Structure 1
Amino acid sequence: MNGSKHDRAGARAEAATVRFAFTPAAAYVRAARLVAADVAAHAGVASGLLDEVRQAVGEACTRAVLRHRDRGIDELVRVEFSIGDRFVAKVTDNAQDLRARSGDRVGAGVAGGDARANDHEAIEEDTLSEEITLIVLGGLVEDLVVTGPDAEGGTTVSMSWPLPGSGSAADH
Structure 2
Amino acid sequence: MNGSKHDRTGGRAEPVTVRFAFTPAAAYVRAARLVAADVAAHAGVATGLLDEVRQAVGEACTRAVLRHRDRGMDDLVRVEFSIGDRFVAKITDNAQDLRARSSGRIGAGIGGGEPRVGDSDTMEEDTLSEEITLIVLSGLVEDLVVTGPDANGGTTVSMSWPLPGSGSATDH
Matched, 1:40 2:40: yes
Q: Provide the identity percentage.
A: 83
Separation of aligned partners in 2, 1:133 and 1:46: 24
Matches within 5 A, 1:137-156: 137-150=137-150, 152-156=152-156
- Is 2:6–2:44's contact at 8 Å kept on the other side of the alignment? no
Stretch deviating more after TM superposition (75-84 or 145-154): 145-154
With over 3 angstroms needed to count, the CA separation of the structure-2 counterparts of 1:88 and 1:70, relative to structure 1, is same
How far is 1:170 from its partner? 5.2
For residue 103 of structure 2, what is the aligned residue in structure 1?
A: none
1:72-94 deviation line (CA, Å, top 9, x unaligned): 11110000000000000000000
Separation of aligned partners in 1, 2:25 and 2:135: 22
* Aligned equivalent of 1:7, options 3, 6, 26: 3
1:48-106 deviation line (CA, Å, top 9, x unaligned): 0000000000000001001111111111000000000000000000012287xxxxxxx
Stretch deviating more after TM superposition (19-28 or 89-98): 89-98
Count of matched residue pairs? 153
1:110-153 deviation line (CA, Å, top 9, x unaligned): xxxx7422334333222211100000000000000000124643
Matched, 1:68 2:68: yes
CA-atom RMSD in angstroms: 2.2
- Is 2:92–2:155's contact at 8 Å kept on the other side of the alignment? yes
Which structure has the greater CA radius of gyration? 2
With over 3 angstroms needed to count, the CA separation of the structure-2 counterparts of 1:161 and 1:123, relative to structure 1, is same
- Is 2:88–2:161's contact at 8 Å kept on the other side of the alignment? yes
For residue 28 of structure 1, what is the aligned residue in structure 2?
A: 28
With over 3 angstroms needed to count, the CA separation of the structure-2 counterparts of 1:170 and 1:53, relative to structure 1, is farther
TM-score (norm 1): 0.81
Q: Specify every segment of 5 or more residues in structure 2 that has no aligned partner in the other structure, as ranges.
A: 100-113
TM-score (norm 2): 0.81
AA aligned to 1:116 is R
Matches within 5 A, 1:14-163: 14=12, 15-97=15-97, 115-150=115-150, 152-163=152-163
